[in-house]
Amino acid sequence: MEYEKKKIVIVGGGFGGIELAKKLNDRHVDVVILDKHNYHTFQPLLYQVATGGLEADSIAFPIRKIFKGQKNLKFRVTEVKKVKPQEHILETSIGEVSYDYLVIATGSTSNFFGQTEISQNAMPMKSIPEALNLRSLILQNLEAALIAKDPTVEAELLNFVVVGGGPTGVETAGAIAELKKHVLKNDYPELDLNKVNIYLIEGSPELLGAMSVQAQQKSRKFLEELGVTVFTEARVQAYDGKTLSLVDGRNIGSATVIWSAGVKGVVLDGLNTDMVVRGNRLKVNGINQVEGYDNIFAIGDVAAMITEETPNGHPGVAPAAIQQGKQLAKNLINLIENKPTEQFKYFDKGAMATVGRNRAVVDINKIRFQGVFAWFTWMFVHLMTLVGFRNKLVVFVNWVWSYFSYDRGTRLIIRPFKPYKEYKKPHDIQES
């Protein structure tokens, strides 16, 4: 090669970071991936882990195994603490890491919009530890409800509230409703199922705001058929661990509030805060270059490519991150070889959401369909997107078993979860 070998450091082993690193295989560069976990998480199915449908290891895949045989790549488990742009160095928990090109693919985390009390008491679901915490809490509250003496406490334990009417919220509410309908009657025969209530709270007028009117209406109908109480144009004011208060004055007693009302990008310390825009995302140009920096890039949920066509940036979904990762790999090599770069263009493959057994909504361009066929389409797409043949097989077998048996096999409290309101000392807080 005529040019000096460059070092490309990728922070984050999500969809974008993984795709970028794959496309740099056999190129004259050194690639380093940094992530605080040693596995890639298939986030679209986290809600199934949380509701006992899948075991955690079926939606996680070792990052080292993904890149088995890729000679120009190294992976390190570490937490990145700060970036020093002037020195081209990252401060991490395992020491300093230098780079020639830095790609920030850190994804997003739950956004509680500055409401500390809600963040302490509501349950987020953006990682496998959080999903496992939620699974434990749901099962613990069902067990506690069986021995509750106070009717008010019993009601709190049996009221499940999902905040946020996007795909994650709709799918989670549907999964809990399926749990009530098919599983609880067998696992908890002494439990009065009429006392188990599921609520879905959405601040805008419709569910699935980014999808078609048909999908919005049908998803609500599906949820209501499953017994979910849907509140739209309802905003959460407070949640103290026992009572969820809405802005309009309504209150819901609940010990389980699941927060899927918003996300924000995970931005590294040390970058110019002027480049951070709405949603805590980094403003990037057409080649995913963070504005103000020559050798720092951002892809996926943490990147905001603001144009006339995308005034709010691209959607925080896996296809967008994957496509940006592929394009950036080409552009990084072009930059190194002093060749022209290509502007990123997002190909929207559509959107979909499942609402329980035989119920889903799918929008693919102008093609829109709902019901059983949409449900099979949703399953096929998610199976094909999963990383690793074993994971595809395990998830498929679990789904087939659940479909014919009306059962879910992973209702396990592996590690009991202690809600924030019960903590006695700060150091008792369980990490998630």
- Which residues are tagged catalytic? 171
Residue with tokens 């017994």: 227
Is the distance from CB of 85 to CB of 96 less than 8 angstroms? no
Cβ-based neighbour number of residue 32 at 10 Å: 19
Q: C-alpha distances in angstroms, 376 versus 40, 41, 323?
A: 25, 22, 24
- What the block records as the tokens of 424 is 């006695």
What is the distance between the alpha carbons of residues 384 and 322, in angstroms, rounded to a whole number?
14
Residues 6+ apart with CB under 8 A from 3: 28, 336, 337
Q: Among 155, 163, 166, 240, which Cα is nearest to 199's?
A: 163
Residues 6+ apart with CB under 8 A from 88: 98, 99, 100, 102, 295
Polymer length in residues for the chain: 432
Q: Among 32, 75, 40, which Cα is nearest to 61's?
A: 40
- How far is it between the farthest Cα atoms of the chain? 77
Angle at 351 between CA 170 and CA 404, to 5 degrees: 60
Is the distance from CB of 136 to CB of 414 less than 8 angstroms? yes
